[in-house]
Every structure is written in C-alpha cells, then in structure tokens.
Amino acid sequence: MAAHEILAATNAVVTLDVALPGTVWPWLVTVNMWAKSIGTGVIFMLMLLLKRYPQQVGKLRFQTTVVAIVFIHIFLLFTLADLHQPLRMWHIFFYPHVTSAITVGAWMATAFVGLLFLLAFLSFIKKDDAAFDKTLPWVVALAIPVTLYTAGLMSQCTARELWQMPTESAQMIFAALLSGSAFMILLGGSQLNWEAKRSLSNILALSAFMSFVLYMSEYVFGPMKAEEVAAVLEYIKGDGPYTVMFWIGQWVAYLLPMLLIALSRSSKNESILKLAAILAIVGLAVVKHVWLMIPQLLPMS
C-alpha cells in the first residue's frame, strides 16, 4: 500500500522526532557546481572555436584560460569553505577512498588546475600557440569527467532519490555547455564574428532546450516512478517553498535565453544575444540551487 493511502487511513502524525538538520549542503555547494560548469564549459567552447574558427581565436586562448582558472578556483574555494574541517582537506590526498566521487573528483580537479596553468604558461609566457593547441584536447578530455563527477557524487547520495545518475550527468554536461557558450559569447566581444557567435548561440539554445526538457521530464514523470520523488517535487509545486524560485530559474536560465536567441538571430542583434547569455549564466545558479535544496527538505526518518 502506498504511503499516502496509509496516511489517509491512519491519520498518523509525528509528535516527537528530533529530525537531524535538513539542509546539509547549503548555497556554497550551489556556487561550487555553478562555477565548475563555467570553468569547464569555456574550455569546451575554446576547443570548438579552435576547430571551426581558428583564425578568430587569437587572444582568446589566454583569456579563456584565465576565465577557466578563475572559475575553477571559485569552485575549489567554495568546496573548501563548505567543509566543516577545511584544514583537513589534505586527507583526501593522503587517506584517499577511491569509491568516493569526492576523492576522484578532487584528484581530477587538481590535475585539471595543473593543466590550466600549463595552458596559461604556453599562451602567456611561452607564447606558443602550436603547443597550446596540442595540449588543449587533453584539457578538454579531463574537463569532461571534472564536470561530470558531481553527478556521480549526487548519485552516491542514496538518501536523495531525486538525483539519479543518468539525468544528473546529462544536466551537468548541458550546464557546462550552456554556461560555457554564454560566457564565451560575452568574452568573445569584437574578437568573434557573427558566424562564430551564431554557433555559440546554437549551443546555448540547444543546451537550454535539452536542460529544460530534462527538468520537465522529472517534473512530470518523476512522481510516477517513486513516492519519494513525488514528495520531493511537492516542494516545487503548488504553494511549495521553492515553487517560485524553480520557475524563475527555468525562465531565466532556459526559456528566456531561447526566446532571446531566436530574436537576436532574426534581427542580428548582438546586444540581445549578450542579454540571453547573461540570463543563462544567472539563471543556471538559481536552477542548480533549487535542485540542490529540495531533496534536503524531506525528512529521512
């Protein structure tokens, strides 16, 4: 018998339970995921530009590397800040437990930072574009698992039924593509022609669309699979505590950017495209935050 049927029959009320604190991973983890999406996403976009528009990349090699370094360090800083014992972070490297996505992610992120600094060295100190272009595919190859490992971590959270691995990994990669293309549209400025920006806007619109489809699929079909998912999604339905924030996120991150991109392409207006990019970057943080918070509201006992 389903829990809600039992509930109707028994009228059971918890009259004493010292439930442990619900929100364990706060907004710091939201910033962590958001910054990592940008830090890896711009690297994906640099690779794309290098393949399709090599003559326009120029200074973007160094600029993109700096952006990636900054955002990956924001990601690392907020990861550290979220630890209750940040000074013990070194334990991850000296007492590693390889079944944990946190351990594997920390190692990969460290290697990723090393490669980013190598790119910075090649582009700024050595000024060797050929070496940079040869190294970049390796950085892209590592950026993929770096952006995906958080999905692995979320799927290891057995208590949170909402976070399932295939969906979360797709969301993570789309988040990287969305934020990477959006940031590159802003960073590109006058260095990229309309054709290159159109390619970036295609990626932005497609990743926004796919992300939106995934969220809506969860929203509609998730409750049909598991009662726990249904209970969690109640927090973003009706007058749930995160309903407004959820829909603001969906509109700002996905729907408005898609509409604005369509508008910018018909009018060839770069300002509208930039607005779409800014909205996508801001909205992504809202979307991520809602999805992080709602499973934590459900009592485990």
Partner 1 sequence: MQLGFLVDLHLCMGCKGCEIACKVENEVPLSTWRLRVKYVDVGTFPETKRTFTPLRCNHCENAPCERICPVSALHYLENGIVNIDKERCIGCAGCVMACPYGAIYIDPQTQTADKCTYCAHRVASSMMPACVVACPVQANIFGDLDDPTSNISKYIMENQAGVQVRKPEKGTNPHHFYVGGGNVNLNPLASHRVEGHSLFNKITTLPVGGHH
Binding site for partner 1 (CB under 8 A): 1, 3-4, 6-7, 10-21, 23-26, 28, 81-86, 88-89, 91-92, 95-97, 99-103, 106, 153, 156-160, 227-228, 231, 296, 298-301
CB closer to partner 1, 9 vs 130: 9
Q: How far is the CB of 99 from partner 1 (least distance, A)?
A: 5
Rg over alpha carbons for the chain, rounded to the nearest Å, is: 21
Q: C-alpha distances in angstroms, 52 versus 101, 161, 175, 197?
A: 34, 41, 22, 12
Question: Other C-beta atoms within 10 Å of 141: how many?
Answer: 12
Question: Other C-beta atoms within 10 Å of 144: how many?
Answer: 16
CB closer to partner 1, 101 vs 142: 101
Nearest to 177 by CA among 74, 47, 299: 47
Q: Interhelix angle for 194-225 vs 270-293, to 10°?
A: 20
Q: How far is the CB of 78 from partner 1 (least distance, A)?
A: 10
Look at residue 281 and give its three-state secondary structure.
helix
Residues 6+ apart with CB under 8 A from 121: none
Q: How far is the CB of 169 from partner 1 (least distance, A)?
A: 17
